[in-house]
Structure 1
């Protein structure tokens, strides 16, 4: 069975086209385009018509691509921005022309999909999966029980809330860091058993690419890459020392992500410090693979 899964996120739209055979997944292609659906949402609580148009146009491109690949099924889901927008009907009205169903995932389901994808891709036991998105961050871990949580901290959201300077000031960064700590601190005790961390999402894959100075992005070099906390600090210092225009030129970093990468890195680094871990393993398999395995591969926790 050939499947397309489309993830409509706060910062980007992504598509995975793959074959599902006997519960296994064979990836054919994975594409991403930054559309910033959640632009301005933190201030207004509403979706911006221009952001909706950009996002819908990208979905149309992805659906056309999927049809050319001969997919049997298209599964589309949306996350944080659509959960929170007061005027989500604006998007839904535009989306209705595609005649495909759309799931607006709650935080628990988003965490579940991310966990399934990451652990299937990395194959690490007793790993806490961290998914840093544009509008939210999810934690998921399976010990004696399966724990999954979603927090309203994301790279786009924190950038719009806290970053006013270019580059951000140390005070702005510290305010972000304290906000992240305040948001997750009451949950830390749930994860005492964890041995390793696995990270998914554009922030952490970008950091892996920057760490390796990849002029051309390589899934093979990013997937399974181990990012050390000290290396993340070094990269953050570099981000904080240059202007936005200079950040756009850093090897391994998508120029469209340069404005939100500091906030995303702040989330990751703060979580590593909170959990007292020195490193995190990067996974290219994420909630797209997890969604396909859950919906079409019969996989659950």
Structure 2
């Protein structure tokens, strides 16, 4: 069965076209476009008209692509920005007008998709999956049942909330770290049995893997499974904090459209590693797109509990 999944995120909109056969996923095409749908949500509480127009245009292209590839099933889900915005119904109506019904998922479902996708891709189940997005960060791991939590600490959200200077000031950096620490400490204290191995998904983490390898051209093969060391993350963070926005846009491995939010995203990753006393993170190119395929088209969305047979394929 040929399937199409669209992830409507705060910073980017992504599309996966794949074949599903005998519980196996074969990727045909995977695209990402930065539309910054949630660029004003943390300030105004609303999606801007320009952001909606950009996003609808991108999604229309994805739908055309899905039709050209003759996909049999399409599933679309929206995350942090859409679930937080007061005018999300207008955006959803615009998508209905182009023939797309969208599932606005909560943070726990987002965590579920991320865990299923990463565990399938890395082929391990005894891991903590961290998904750093534009509006939120999700954590999930399996211990008898799937533990999943979502926090409103994303690269776009923290950039808009804290960063006013270019380059970023040390005071702004410290304020972000304190905010993340305050948000996550109770969760970490209550979950001392979390796996020590972290698998990271999302644009911030894959970008750091590309930057660490000084990639001029993004390569999924070089990114997937790459072990990103804490020292490398700190080196990249120090470098980016010393540069202006325009200077950061010239760095290898960094999409220019992500140059304004990459510092906040990197602070999230580095702070989490410090809080968990971990020295590295394994990067997965398989993420919540593949996870949605597992949940909707392999597990069948029948509400059954996650078991060991569902992860680490």
TM-score range, shorter chain: over 0.9
Q: Cα distance, 1:99 vs. partner? A: 2.3
Q: Structure 1 CA distance, aligned partners of 2:27 and 2:72?
A: 15
Q: Deviations over 1:64-107 (max 9, x none)?
A: 01111110111110000011001112201211112232100001
Q: Structure 1 CA distance, aligned partners of 2:194 and 2:220?
A: 30
- Check whether the contact 2:136–2:150 (CA below 8 A) recurs between aligned residues: yes
Q: Cα distance, 1:143 vs. partner? A: 1.6
- TM-score of the pair, normalised by structure 2: 0.94
Q: Deviations over 1:88-137 (max 9, x none)?
A: 12201211112232100001100000000001100224210000000000
User: What's 2:62 paired with?
Assistant: 62
- TM-score of the pair, normalised by structure 1: 0.98
User: What's 1:180 paired with?
Assistant: 180
Partner SS state of residue 253, structure 1: coil
The 3 A distance-change label for structure 1 pair 283 and 191 is farther
Q: Output aligned runs, 1:76-115, within 5 Å.
A: 76-115=76-115
- RMSD value over aligned CA atoms? 1.0
User: What's 1:195 paired with?
Assistant: 196
User: What's 1:228 paired with?
Assistant: 229
Q: Cα distance, 1:191 vs. partner? A: 4.1
Q: Output aligned runs, 1:1-301, within 5 Å.
A: 1-189=1-189, 190-298=191-299, 301=306
Q: Cα distance, 1:195 vs. partner? A: 2.4
Q: Structure 2 CA distance, aligned partners of 1:192 and 1:167?
A: 38
Q: Cα distance, 1:44 vs. partner? A: 0.6
Structure 2 unaligned residues grouped into runs of 5+: 307-313
- Check whether the contact 1:244–1:259 (CA below 8 A) recurs between aligned residues: yes
Q: Structure 1 CA distance, aligned partners of 2:178 and 2:258?
A: 23
How many residues matched? 301
Q: Structure 2 CA distance, aligned partners of 1:55 and 1:226?
A: 32
- Check whether the contact 1:24–1:293 (CA below 8 A) recurs between aligned residues: no
Q: Structure 2 CA distance, aligned partners of 1:258 and 1:6?
A: 24
Q: Cα distance, 1:27 vs. partner? A: 0.3
Partner SS state of residue 128, structure 2: strand
User: What's 2:310 paired with?
Assistant: none
